[in-house]
Amino acid sequence: MTDSILVFYGSYRSDRMGIRLADFIVSGLAARGAAPELVDARAVGLPMLDRMYKEYPKGEAPPALEALAGKIRRADAFVFVTGEYNWGPQPGLKNLTDHFLEEWFWRPAAIASYSAGRLAGVRSGSLWHAILSEMGMVVVSSTLAVGPIAQTLDAEGRPTGDPGAALQRAFGRFADDLAWWTEAAKMQRERKAPPF
């Protein structure tokens, strides 16, 4: 069965470079036979966190929150594409993620980071690892780190030059790692109910 993978992207800036990486990942996963879907935090437009999805009475959550909760529950795996703002995660992506909790449980997640500079967002990616683990996801060990992003991917998310070729080589292992854990988690959920 095809793996349903949500690819989350969280920049709200007007000149977003990271969307190139999100588009590259969606295209790459689709080419491998998965069913990826981009979830753009800016397009979803959730307010700053006041009340988590689980804190609304059943049927009373705002429509955007209800729709996204359903997508998260049905997904087999997740990819988080994060830029680095002052050594930390993007606030838009963190805000979107924090609206949910149990919906994330028992599924694998992968992290792709980026920046305009040579450190490629790795500090933010490292912080995301702990955040996602705390939220009940199994974070795969393979990561993508892209920087400088403008020299790696063109405006349509296509790899360019030597940095783009390096990204293409790294993507195979990244996708294989996520696919392995996705299959393992799906089989385990079919075999045995989660303990909580």
Query: How many domains is the chain built from?
Result: 1
Domain limits for position 75: 4-191
The answer to the question of residue 161 being in a domain is yes
Grouping H, G, I as helix, E, B as strand and the rest as coil, residue 126 is helix
The answer, yes or no, to whether residue 1 has pLDDT greater than 80, is: no
For residue 104, the domain's CATH number is 3.40.50.360
pLDDT digits (tens, 9 = 90+) for 136-163: 999 999 999 999 999 999 999 999 999 9
Q: Which of 42-50's residues contact partners 24+ apart within 8 Å by CB, and which partners?
A: 42/10, 42/11, 42/12, 42/92, 44/68, 44/96, 46/95, 46/96, 46/99, 48/95, 49/95, 49/98, 49/99
The answer to the question of residue 185 being in a domain is yes
The answer to the question of residue 196 being in a domain is no
pLDDT digits (tens, 9 = 90+) for 42-90: 999 999 999 999 999 999 999 999 999 999 999 999 999 999 888 889 9
The answer to the question of residue 22 being in a domain is yes
